[in-house]
Chains A and B, each alone.
Chain A
Amino acid sequence: MSISSDTITGSPGETLVGDDYFTYVEGVGPIPRDIFKYVKSDPFGDLPRYSVHIVIQHFLIFVTFLVLSATGLPLYFSDLAWAKYMVSLFGGVDLARLIHKIAAFTMMFASAYHIITIVGGTLRQILKREFDYRRTVIPRLKDLTDLFHDLKYFLGFEPYRPKMEKFMYKQKAHYLAILWGSFVLTAAGSALLFPDTMAKLFPDTMTQLLPSGVVDKGSFPAFFQNLARLMHADEAVMALIVIAFWHWLNVHFVPGRFPLQWAFLTGRITREHQIEEHFLEYLRNLQEIPEEREYMKRLLREKGFDKSHFVSIADLSRVH
């Protein structure tokens, strides 16, 4: 399908000062906010998003998560009819529990690998004075305003989506939730696997921190074990439901990504996706990748956006 130029709304002459429809990029030209509707994208991805380390880590976490769910769920729902059959797939419950532990340690290894890559990468960026917290998953106030902006756009009250960084609000929320969830699951799972060692780790003084009603029932290790039993199962079920009913659908089954978003294997994001949801990151891509700059320059020329006379000084200040 060829993109007819008449679908481009508005004409350059009508641009008003203060309107952030156009973003001027040095050496490229003014980029309209909805340029993602006219770019060509490769489903396997055009622009770099994840390093090979992140792809490997995601793959490890993804596989171990499925194994952990498949071996853990029947144990939690042991009174349901399907549990026995599920467990027999792994050669009985004793073997299923062993597989669960092996998968858990693999996942912990992947998590450690991830932390090392992230901390190492950040340190390197700091040393090279390239570190920019806006490109990371650190939450900012902008994420909240982006969320409200986006909600308004979905409901039709805003013409365009917000200009977002490499990680948008829901990715940050999901990442932080995973960080918290894997910490809880690892801690609670270790408590279930090594209850005796765990009991040794906690000093008796911690018991005094508990309300009196709990202390009557036992010491801090006893309380923690009860909490671990609850947390491990409930957090895991929550993680599984969020992954199955939100993450997979949100990543692969929404318009523009169906039937598969290849980023988790190729580490690359499609151009239209990058511009739509990570516009500010795309601007950085333009600075860093000469080919992309050339591509955009050519596209703007084709669509008739290359004339610089309609770009105001006000727009220049908005360039990051």
Chain B
Amino acid sequence: MKSQRKMKAAVFCLGWIVAILWLGFPAVAADKENCLMCHKYPFVGRIDENGKRHNYQVDEASYNHSVHRSVACRDCHTYITKIPHDPVTEEVNCANVCHTKPPFAQEKFSHQKIIDIYNDSAHGIKPDDSPEAKKAKPYCKFCHLNPLYTRVSEKVIAFDETLRRCLNCHQAKGVTQAYIHMTHRLRKKTTRSPQEVVQLCAKCHQDVELMQKLKVSEEGLTAVATYNHTLHGKSVALGSQETADCISCHASFAIHDIYRKDNPKATVYKDNLMQTCLQCHTETNSWFVQIAVHPRTKREENPLIYMAGIGLRFALYGSVCSLVGLMLLETYGRRKDGIKFLLRRGTSWRGKSKRPPRK
């Protein structure tokens, strides 16, 4: 009897285990705490006091292709302590230490290092900043939007072939993810295309009102416009993948270390320009770095170039108008003398001249 009971209990437990494995395992490895139980539904959301609608759905398939696929929800959303949780007031802090251990390192991962670089840069919030500047300065999530994070473009990297050699020794599961995570950034300075970079920076730097509020220099105010005027800017606008964008010159490979150009740490500081230009222009010298990358052609800024531009415009209109005028006059005069348009039967002078006969 006793053994029968034990048997029943064992079958019951085993049944549960099987059921849990069967039902629960398809969830993402990162979702250990089953947050998707609620957040997988497309209409999980709320309407706030201002009538703004918030969507809290997490698309499982997209998330599984994002760079954060192996990070558990609560590694970033640390303020969640119970389920169902209270209304969220805090924001995600990218400087958190998450529970992912990168391969080859025994420490838990954090973005702290790059955030330190960033906080030091022109974009980092400083204690003596005005309230407007504090408000206007972007933080991680301003640029690194999650929608952009979905889908690492693995196909553009021929990683399959390279990875095959790693798999000779390593287990596929761990090394594949590590490899993808590294390589998709290794090929270029930024994951984003030059077009996306320019668009992102222009979002604020083109906003003249905002820039005036932040008291940027005259050059800074027109930076986007003057860049768009150059061959760099024009090529990028047409889809070039080889031309310099904002990041190419204004940041080193740390990407976040953007400083004002009067800061000695800036890549565009006058002593660092040589190094910066050398990335592409191999013959860079001290005169080359003085060439304006954001050229200004207004009269008071560059009088000679301005005058040359006006001169060329006069030459254009003058030559075209006089030449076309001469051609029209010539056609009128010759037509009057009896020429026809087509050369036929050996001559084009088939008409009768309307000129007075020769005396």
Contacts and interface: CB of A to CB of B under 8 A. Distances in A.
Interface of A: 1, 3, 7, 9-10, 21, 36-43, 74-76, 78-79, 83-84, 87, 92-94, 96-97, 150-151, 153-156, 159, 170, 177, 192, 194-197, 199-200, 202, 204, 210-211, 213-214, 217-223, 225-227, 229-231, 234-235, 237-238, 241-242, 245-246, 249-250, 254-259, 270, 272
Interface of B: 228, 230-231, 233-235, 237-242, 277, 281-285, 287-288, 290-292, 295, 297, 301-305, 308-309, 312-313, 315-316, 319-320, 323-324, 326-327, 329-336, 338-343, 345-350, 352, 355, 357-359
21 contacts: A10-B357, A36-B349, A41-B347, A79-B237, A92-B239, A92-B240, A94-B241, A96-B238, A154-B334, A196-B283, A197-B283, A200-B283, A218-B292, A222-B292, A229-B230, A230-B309, A234-B316, A235-B312, A249-B324, A270-B343, A272-B348
A93 B239 CA distance: 6
B122 to A, nearest CB: 24
A155 B339 contact: no
A256 B357 CA distance: 22
A16 B259 CA distance: 88
B284 A196 contact: yes
A9 B301 CA distance: 66
A100 to B, nearest CB: 11
Contact of B287 (A93, A221, A229, A242): A221
B288 A195 contact: yes
Contacts of A229: 230-231, 295
Given A87-B238, A230-B309, A259 B330 contact: no
B231 A231 contact: no
Given A79-B237, A87-B239, A250-B327, A194 B309 contact: no
Given A10-B357, A156-B336, A37 B319 contact: no
A188 to B, nearest CB: 11
A117 to B, nearest CB: 27
A156 B353 CA distance: 11
A177 B348 contact: no
Contacts of B233: 78
A interface secondary structure, majority: helix
Nearest to B320: A241
Nearest to A83: B238
Contact of A41 (B333, B335, B343): B343
B287 A37 contact: no
Contacts of B305: 223, 226-227, 230
Q: Which of B301, B303, B330 has the most CB of A within 10 A?
A: B330
A245 B320 contact: yes
B287 A40 contact: no
B341 A258 contact: yes
A93 B121 CA distance: 33
A194 B316 CA distance: 27
Contacts of B240: 92-94, 97
B283 A219 contact: no
A199 B347 contact: no
Given A40-B347, A84-B238, A154-B333, 16 more contacts: A40-B346, A41-B346, A43-B343, A75-B238, A93-B239, A195-B281, A199-B285, A199-B291, A200-B287, A219-B290, A229-B231, A230-B308, A230-B312, A238-B320, A241-B316, A250-B323
A145 to B, nearest CB: 16
B291 A222 contact: yes
Q: Which of B239, B277, B329 has the most CB of A within 10 A?
A: B239
A234 B346 contact: no
